[in-house]
Amino acid sequence: MRIMVAHSPDSDDAFMFHALVNGKVETGGYRFENVLSDIETLNRRALEGAYEVTAISYHAYAQLHHRYALLTTGSSMGEDYGPIVVSRPGALKGGGPAGKRIAIPGLMTSAYLALRLYQPDFQPEVVPFDRILEAVRTGTVDAGLVIHEGQLTFAEEGLELVVDLGKWWRKETGLPLPLGGNAIRRDLGPERMREIGRVLKESIAYGLAHREEALDHAQSYGRGLDRQKVDRFVGMYVNARTVDCGPDGREAVRLFLARGHAAGIIAEAVVPDWVEC
């Protein structure tokens, strides 16, 4: 049975799926095909149910839960770090992001929800995630909401940190900041959902157990990062919690969506539905 697995073309996702892509794990009779696209595109394609398994933003799950369930494996969570807001030095004059034009990577991203929870009063401007640093540097916007590798390279662009939303969320809740996860289409049925989830879990565990091998594969998705930065970035978002998000990870997702609903950002109250892997 063919299973389409969609994820971002980033070093952390490449690390997770190295074993799956390169035949390092037993697939149990399933034939997996990978699709690569940026996370906001994946969120929107999931609205159509385009793929059996897809990486999504946890924010987007509020609109997808009728069609998809969440796997307990494959989560990316910020452990006292996460998406950041950056600006040109002195551009915000110590006033923070309130009322400012801020480039964001998409309205369905978890980074956007986190920023809205942190500061509701700003003007979002959707910019492709890999062009946000440039938009900030050139003054097209006042600040930028940065995800992926830009979290490690913004200072090299001459920009300064305004706020780390992962640190803010940890201080607020004591929990990791839930960013993205793997969603699986409900029409596969409970048994297949669990079986497919277990294969994905084995792929992630293989990468962690064969780190240098998996980093070799991830390096080509690092968008110019050197080996040390790729290793650091992968370590941020692929770890033991990625193998299984754990009870506090699940609680973090529940609370994140509940706060989004209470703030009027998410229209529907949603309780996450998890598939144990």
pLDDT confidence bin for 222, thresholds 50/70/90: confident
Q: What is the CA radius of gyration of the chain?
A: 18
The average pLDDT across 182-201 equals 98
Query: In this model, does residue 94 exceed pLDDT 80?
Result: no
Query: In this model, does residue 95 exceed pLDDT 80?
Result: no
Query: Which residues lie closer than 8 Å to 48 by C-beta, 6 or more apart?
Result: none
Question: Are 190 and 271 contained in the same domain?
Answer: yes
DSSP summary character for residue 167: H
- CATH code for position 152: 3.40.190.10
Give dist(CA 51, CA 101) in Å, integer: 34
Query: In this model, does residue 15 exceed pLDDT 90?
Result: yes
Parallel, antiparallel or unpaired: strands 68-71 and 274-275: parallel
Instruction: With beta carbons less than 8 A apart as the criterion, state whether 105 and 112 touch.
Output: yes
**Which of 119, 149, 173 is the C-terminal boundary of a domain?**
173
Torsion of CA 115, 121, 125, 130, to 10 degrees: -20
Question: Are 119 and 165 contained in the same domain?
Answer: yes
Q: In the numeric block, which tokens belong to residue 244? A: 């299984």
Instruction: With beta carbons less than 8 A apart as the criterion, state whether 174 and 79 touch.
Output: no
Residues involved in catalysis: 148
Question: Are 181 and 153 contained in the same domain?
Answer: no
> Cα(first)–Cα(last) distance of the chain, in Å?
19
Question: Are 108 and 146 contained in the same domain?
Answer: yes
Give dist(CA 159, CA 84) in Å, integer: 12
Question: Are 72 and 187 contained in the same domain?
Answer: yes
**Which of 142, 173, 204 is the C-terminal boundary of a domain?**
173
> Any idea which of 34-48, 89-103, 116-130 has the lowest mean pLDDT?
89-103
Domain that holds residue 194: 2-78+177-275
Instruction: With beta carbons less than 8 A apart as the criterion, state whether 102 and 123 touch.
Output: yes
Q: How many domains does the chain have?
A: 2
Name residue 19's amino acid: A
Q: Record the pTM.
A: 0.96
Question: Are 50 and 93 contained in the same domain?
Answer: no
Question: Are 98 and 69 contained in the same domain?
Answer: no
**Which of 153, 173, 193 is the C-terminal boundary of a domain?**
173
Question: Are 187 and 72 contained in the same domain?
Answer: yes
Strand intervals (E) in the chain: 2-7, 31-36, 53-57, 68-71, 76-78, 84-87, 101-104, 123-126, 143-146, 160-164, 177-185, 274-275
